[in-house]
Amino acid sequence: MADSDLTVYGAPYSVYVRIVRMTLEEKGVAYVLDPVDIFTQNDETRAYRKLNPFAKIPTLAHGDFVLYETRAIARYVDESFDGPSLQPSSPGSRARMEQVVGIVDSFAYAALVWDIYVAHTARQKSNSEEHAERIASALPMARICLGEFDRLLAGKQFFGGATVSLADLHVAPVFGYFTTVPESEGLMSAHPGLSQWWSTMSERDSWRTVSAGTRDPQ
């Protein structure tokens, strides 16, 4: 993609930065990634707080227009640029899309990424029982999330129907981490339709582009 007046601020390994980048990639919109490290206190991060006073990532700058909060950014990108629509046309399907996004933000991101993936990675380094307990305590919520994703997918190719929607782009970066740890295998085996969905999403060019170079998520 060519240079653009659109900049995404945030670490490339971040789940939520990847959501925004996948949205841009699916729309075919040119952008620049500024990999600001919010965990380092320096002039760059202090300047970043002028864009986002909460010092969270991502933030989008489109010319003079600055926007933070991933859901808002994704909708802005979809509605502002040419390319395939990433929101279903019917009110019911759009509501289902928002429901899936809400499940990720409220439950699945914490359970599948932080409480399972991150804890598994930390346990590999320290072999602490604390990490094992954290994983075990997350399994009930993980089962609920996967069960609901499977139910809402309901045999469709994508959450919104026959084409990719913002719901798919919200879930995919979570699965990108979760499915790399052994704890995911038994949980996913109960949901073959969801496993097929992830197999399809993981082959998309948008995912291949944003997942290059993996570190711990944020």
pTM: predicted TM-score of the whole model, two decimal places: 0.94
What tens digit of pLDDT does each residue of 47-80 get?
999 999 999 999 999 999 999 999 999 999 999 9
What tens digit of pLDDT does each residue of 154-193 get?
989 999 999 999 999 999 999 999 999 999 999 999 999 9
Contact in structure between 78 and 87 (CB atoms under 8 Å):
yes
Mapped onto helix, strand or coil, the DSSP state of residue 122 is helix
Q: What's the sign of the alpha-carbon dihedral 107, 108, 110, 111?
A: positive
pLDDT of 128 above 90 = no
Contact in structure between 25 and 209 (CB atoms under 8 Å):
yes
Question: What is each CA distance from 20 to 33, 138, 141, 146, 200, in whole angstroms?
Answer: 11, 26, 25, 22, 19
